[in-house]
């Protein structure tokens, strides 16, 4: 019997790998070490839980610990792996009963990413939160409640939740003014979530645009939407510190702007969790995430990495890239599980396909936009069009803005964005599929996309954009 398949991290990548391996090779021992109490949870639902659209924390679990154990996976919650020794084929684990060593045959590092709050001072004050985990989401929602309400009952998840934190914030006077530091997708989702509770919401963004990876057309549409919904934007403002006497009272910016606030969301970005591998032969890529081959294997035989802690090859450039998102984590984990079970399965490439909802606006992006394309050595040509989402005579038709980017010489499609109110975001999947198929703009223009008045105009917005960009390329 081979040594066990050991997985570090019990969420998307880790549990996808463990489940797939167990399904393909039921006799293989599979052990999952998770340092926290939550496993198989959806980070992506956290803003909607804070908003109140998701009722209880347990609604955000894909599998309960009992369901995982029914799959014959040896799940150890509250167990942190503190060292990896690839030469000895062991990991060192700190659990409730103390420290011990566990040998492995294959090892998957699926430790995810962490919220980065630095270099902002004061992010440890009461009322300053990152949003990276169900306990953060629970604490924020408890803080929004009136102290007369039962916070533990409201948030749910009482078997696992950090009860002390929920009760502490639940007992405080609810906030009235919130600052969100960072106008990325989590910041935009949190602006909507906190506005729904009637807070006066301010978003601070260092650059001049919200949602920078989505390009200017999307950023401007989202800024307009947030302002219309009553959110105050502080663009080109660099937050230096959250100030207060034990509790958040004020936000101070480098340019001198200051604002009295009583809640601050300070997760300005994420970084891969790779400290565990310091001093080992496992190589990291340029961005600090673990470098892997097409099967998710690291520079050390038998040691794999998947999800937010790992790189993958980019669909357009073929070069390693770090894009920490949900599907890629699940997919890479599942592939590694199949590979260690004896069915070598590539983890797939990443196109950076992302969608986000900002109140009524739906936004999507994929591939390389102008600057990224130039940095990757292409000569990008782009075109932005605005058209209707359905036949103009059909109720519900709304403006939809599409940007497509192509390489001038090869006319190959490189990327695109979309924004609009009527199911705009999912249309980005057409562009993602075209990138996967290495299409030129002319090939995309000839794609046979669906048409009926309730769903689309005769010329789908993506086709209109391809037609206009193709014309520009032929000029």
The residue from 6, 7, 8, 468 that contacts ligand FAD (CB under 6 A) is 8
> Binders of ligand FAD among 113-152, rule CB under 6 A?
113, 131-132
Binding piece for ligand FAD, criterion CB under 6 A, among 42-50, 121-129, 164-172, 248-256:
42-50
The residue from 138, 276, 282, 462 that contacts ligand FAD (CB under 6 A) is 276
Q: Which is nearer to ligand FAD, 289 or 405 (CB)?
A: 289
Binding piece for ligand FAD, criterion CB under 6 A, among 98-106, 318-326, 341-349, 363-371:
318-326
Ramachandran angles phi, psi of 403, nearest 5°: -115, 130
Give the integer Cα–Cα distance in Å for 263 and 144: 10
- Least distance to ligand FAD from the beta carbon of 50, Å? 9
Rule CB under 6 A: is residue 329 a binding residue for ligand FAD?
yes
The residue from 116, 325, 376, 442 that contacts ligand FAD (CB under 6 A) is 325
The residue from 10, 219, 352, 415 that contacts ligand FAD (CB under 6 A) is 10
Q: Which of 195, 220, 194 is nearest to 207 (CA)?
A: 220
> Binders of ligand FAD among 182-241, rule CB under 6 A?
186
Residues 6+ apart with CB under 8 A from 224: none
The residue from 112, 122, 187, 457 that contacts ligand FAD (CB under 6 A) is 112
> Binders of ligand FAD among 74-103, rule CB under 6 A?
80-81
Q: Which is nearer to ligand FAD, 25 or 93 (CB)?
A: 93
First to last CA, the chain: 66
Site size toward ligand FAD (CB under 6 A) is 33
Binding piece for ligand FAD, criterion CB under 6 A, among 35-43, 54-62, 248-256, 463-471:
35-43
- Least distance to ligand FAD from the beta carbon of 310, Å? 8
- Least distance to ligand FAD from the beta carbon of 353, Å? 8
- Least distance to ligand FAD from the beta carbon of 381, Å? 29
Q: Which two tokens stand for residue 277?
A: 């591998």
List the catalytic residue out of 44, 253, 309, 363: 44
Residues paired with 350 in a beta bridge: 314
Q: Which two tokens stand for residue 70?
A: 């029914």
- Least distance to ligand FAD from the beta carbon of 79, Å? 6
- Least distance to ligand FAD from the beta carbon of 7, Å? 9
Rule CB under 6 A: is residue 326 a binding residue for ligand FAD?
yes
Rule CB under 6 A: is residue 425 a binding residue for ligand FAD?
no
Q: Which of 325, 383, 384, 330 is nearest to 356 (CA)?
A: 325
Ramachandran angles phi, psi of 252, nearest 5°: -125, 135
Between the CA of residue 384 and those of 131, 340, 391, 392, 404, what are the distances in Å? 33, 45, 20, 20, 7
Block residue for tokens 């729904």: 196
Torsion sign (Cα): 81, 82, 84, 88: negative
- Least distance to ligand FAD from the beta carbon of 66, Å? 18
Rule CB under 6 A: is residue 308 a binding residue for ligand FAD?
yes
Residues 56 and 42: beta-carbon distance below 8 Å:
no
Rule CB under 6 A: is residue 19 a binding residue for ligand FAD?
no
- Least distance to ligand FAD from the beta carbon of 271, Å? 11
Burial of 299 (C-beta count, 10 Å sphere; 0-12/13-18/19+): middle
Binding piece for ligand FAD, criterion CB under 6 A, among 58-66, 97-105, 152-160, 323-331:
323-331
The residue from 111, 317, 361, 400 that contacts ligand FAD (CB under 6 A) is 111
- Least distance to ligand FAD from the beta carbon of 95, Å? 10
Q: Assess whether 253 carries a catalytic annotation.
A: no
The CB-side HSE value for 389 (13 A sphere, CA atoms) comes to 21
Binding piece for ligand FAD, criterion CB under 6 A, among 34-42, 51-59, 371-379, 434-442:
34-42
Binding piece for ligand FAD, criterion CB under 6 A, among 36-44, 314-322, 363-371, 450-458:
36-44
Applying CB under 6 A, the residues found at the interface with ligand FAD are 8-14, 33-36, 43-44, 46-47, 80-81, 110-113, 131-132, 186, 273, 276, 307-308, 324-327, 329
What is the set of active-site residues?
A: 44
């Amino acid at each position: 019997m081979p040594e066990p398949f050991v997985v570090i991290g019990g969420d998307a990548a880790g549990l996808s790998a463990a489940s797939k391996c167990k399904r393909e090779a039921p006799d293989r021992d599979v052990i999952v070490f998770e340092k926290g109490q939550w496993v198989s949870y959806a980070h992506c639902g956290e803003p909607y839980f804070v908003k109140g659209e998701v009722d209880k924390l347990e609604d955000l679990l894909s599998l309960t610990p009992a369901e995982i154990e029914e799959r014959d996976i040896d799940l150890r919650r509250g167990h942190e792996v503190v060292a990896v020794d690839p030469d000895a084929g062991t990991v060192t684990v700190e659990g409730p009963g103390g420290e011990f060593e566990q040998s492995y045959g294959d090892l998957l590092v699926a430790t995810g990413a962490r919220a980065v709050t630095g270099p902002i001072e004061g992010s440890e004050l009461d009322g300053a939160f990152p949003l990276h985990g169900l306990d953060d989401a629970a604490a924020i929602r408890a803080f929004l409640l009136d102290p007369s309400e039962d916070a533990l009952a409201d948030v749910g998840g009482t078997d696992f939740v950090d009860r002390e934190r929920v009760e502490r914030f639940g007992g405080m006077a609810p906030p009235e003014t919130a600052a969100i530091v960072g106008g990325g997708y989590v910041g935009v989702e949190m602006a909507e979530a906190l506005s729904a509770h009637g807070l006066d919401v301010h978003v601070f963004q260092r650059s001049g645009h919200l949602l920078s990876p989505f390009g200017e057309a999307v950023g401007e549409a989202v800024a307009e939407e947030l302002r219309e919904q009553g959110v105050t934007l502080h663009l080109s403002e660099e937050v230096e510190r959250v100030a207060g006497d034990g509790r958040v009272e004020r936000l101070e910016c480098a340019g001198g702007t200051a604002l009295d606030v009583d809640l601050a969301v300070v997760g300005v970005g994420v970084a891969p969790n790779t400290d565990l591998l310091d001093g080992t032969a496992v190589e990291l890529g340029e961005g600090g995430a673990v470098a892997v081959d097409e099967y998710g294997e690291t520079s050390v035989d038998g040691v794999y990495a998947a999800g937010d802690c790992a790189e993958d090859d980019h669909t357009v450039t073929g070069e390693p890239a770090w894009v920490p998102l949900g599907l890629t984590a699940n997919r890479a984990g599942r592939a590694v599980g199949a590979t260690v079970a004896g069915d070598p399965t590539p983890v797939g490439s990443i196109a950076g396909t992302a969608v986000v909802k900002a109140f009524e606006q739906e936004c999507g992006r994929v591939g390389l936009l102008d600057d990224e394309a130039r940095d990757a050595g292409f000569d990008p040509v782009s075109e932005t069009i605005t058209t209707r989402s359905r036949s103009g005579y059909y109720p519900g038709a709304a403006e939809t803005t599409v940007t497509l980017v192509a390489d001038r010489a090869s006319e190959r499609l490189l990327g695109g964005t979309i924004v609009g109110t009527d199911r705009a975001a999912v249309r980005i999947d057409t562009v993602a599929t075209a990138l996967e198929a290495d299409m030129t703009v002319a090939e995309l223009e000839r794609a046979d996309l669906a048409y009926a008045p309730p769903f689309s105009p005769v010329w789908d917005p993506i086709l209109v954009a391809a037609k206009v960009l193709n014309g520009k390329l032929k000029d």
